[in-house]
Each structure stands twice: as structure tokens, then as C-alpha cells.
Amino acid sequence: MAKNRRSAIKNDELIEACKRHILSPGIDAVVHEPYIPYIPDDWNGMLVLAESQNLSKSSSKYVKELECMAQIEKFHRLTSPRLTSSASLGVQPWDDCSLKLAVESAFRTKAENTAVSNAVFWSQVDESGNNKNPSEDLIRHSVMLWVDLLPLIRPNHIVTCGNIAHRVIKTAKQETLGSWDHTQLRLPSRTAMSRISGMFPEEDLLSRYPEVKKVVQERPEWLEGGYRHNKIFFACHAVSVVAAEKRAKGNGDYQEARIG
């Protein structure tokens, strides 16, 4: 695993990129400042992206704290000690450990060495304060920011969760002529996973996916807090997708991931 990849990234350049992409006052978004992805000191070269932050009325405390922050703190919201803890970043499917379990099961790399963010940097709510899917405007602005950020970060592998995240990074890769490997997973939304995860008993899933069983045994705390079956099912999905990529590579259609 490569050491000190993070030290090669210039933080001031990331900040300047964010400054260039603050939304104008007329654009609909809860917070207009974007943010820098969380990148650990001992980074393995993988960047995992969920869709966007949920800044609805259910996250009112988090939003109020964001609104009280200085601009520079908003850029660093995924690492701000005022907002995060050792168990949270502000990226929900990472914080609930769905993505952590999937990353370690499918890619055999440590979650703590993995960079994390959302593909869309801004959030919207409806008139009732409920979360909305990102608009085409926010998707377009996110592509433009990633076009600036990705040449500075230089990931080896990007994992996107959901169709919107996939669109954003696919477009940014085309515009930057990026060479990273790209794995597309489903979005681990609790509603979507709950509709199908119960079709497969946990014992059966773990017997068929020993990669997941191994991580479940090593990190049982990741299954706490509810939705245990969803997390296991999603990790099995990730293992299956990566196995399919490796088979395609064997046919000359896929470039092998270079983690670390």
C-alpha cells in the first residue's frame, strides 16, 4: 500500500477550487459552499462517492452548525471536529458502515485508508423541508468542480454509488481524460435495500460470499445500529460487481484496479 499519498495533495489548491465553485445566491441549495473530500493521511488511492448530503429538516442541527461556520470551515466540513467524530464524516452510507463493509469485502483494502465524499456537493429540500434529489443544475456544477479537483487528488480508483454519482464521475472522467478505474455500485439506500435484501437469508448470503463473512466476523460493530441485513446484502452486491469486472478484464474489457 502506498504511504503518504495525502501529503502530495496541496490543500490550498483544493480550497481555491472550492472557492471558484461557490454557488451564486440565485441557485437553490441549502448551503452554497462545496467541500473537500475526506482523504486520510495514509490514503490507498481509492475514492468512494455516495450521492449528496441529506440536509433536510431531519438534519436541522447539522445544518444550523454549518450555517454558523466560517467559509473555510464549510469547505472542510467532512473533517471538521465540530461536525464529525471518529464514527462519522457527514456521508450517511459511510457513517452507517454500509460502504465500509462493502469496501473491505469487495476490494480487500482497509476502510480507514479510503477517501470518501459525495458526488454532488450541494443539497436541496422541498417546501416542507424534505430532501430532494439533486437538480440538473447541481449535477452540472458538481461535474465542473470535480473537473478541477480530480487532477489535484489523482485517485487510482473511484467507486460511485447510484446513477447520479455514476453520471457525475463518468462525465468528469471524459472531460479530464482521467485514467482511474471506475466501479459503479447501486446506492445503498435503506428503502431500496429493504425491498429486496429480505429475499435472501443472512446465512445463505454469508455462505456464498466468504469475503463478506470474513469482514463481518472481523468488524461486528459495523452491523450495529440497525439495518444489519441491508448492509450484508449490499456488501454481497459489491463483491459480485467486482467479480464481474475481473471476469471482463480477463476478456480484455477491464483495466485491473490499482489500489495503493
CA 190/CA 249 separation, integer angstroms: 31
Could you tell me the pTM of the whole model? Answer: 0.92
Assign a CATH topology to domain 6-250. Uracil-DNA Glycosylase, subunit E (3.40.470)
The CA angle 228-217-92, to the nearest 5 degrees, is 40
Specify the pLDDT at position 44.
Answer: 96
Specify the pLDDT at position 4.
Answer: 55
Specify the pLDDT at position 127.
Answer: 93
Specify the pLDDT at position 200.
Answer: 94
Specify the pLDDT at position 2.
Answer: 45
CA 11/CA 79 separation, integer angstroms: 13
CA 91/CA 38 separation, integer angstroms: 10
Specify the pLDDT at position 254.
Answer: 44
Answer for the pair 39, 6: CB distance below 8 angstroms, yes or no. Answer: yes
- The DSSP code for 135 is P
Answer for the pair 182, 167: CB distance below 8 angstroms, yes or no. Answer: no
Q: Which ranges in 86-182 belong to alpha helices (H)?
A: 92-95, 98-107, 136-153, 163-176
Specify the pLDDT at position 251.
Answer: 64
Answer for the pair 233, 193: CB distance below 8 angstroms, yes or no. Answer: yes
Phi, psi of 161 (to 5 degrees): -115, 110
Answer for the pair 139, 164: CB distance below 8 angstroms, yes or no. Answer: yes
Enter the C-alpha cell of residue 71. 467559509
Phi, psi of 185 (to 5 degrees): -115, 165
pLDDT tens for the chain, 260 residues: list them.
Answer: 344 578 889 999 999 999 999 999 999 999 999 999 999 999 999 999 999 999 999 999 999 999 999 999 999 999 888 788 877 899 999 999 999 999 999 999 999 999 999 999 999 999 999 999 999 999 999 999 999 999 999 999 999 999 999 999 999 999 999 999 999 999 999 888 999 999 999 999 999 999 999 999 999 999 998 999 999 999 999 999 999 999 998 765 544 444 44
Q: Which residues pair with 85 in a beta bridge?
A: 88
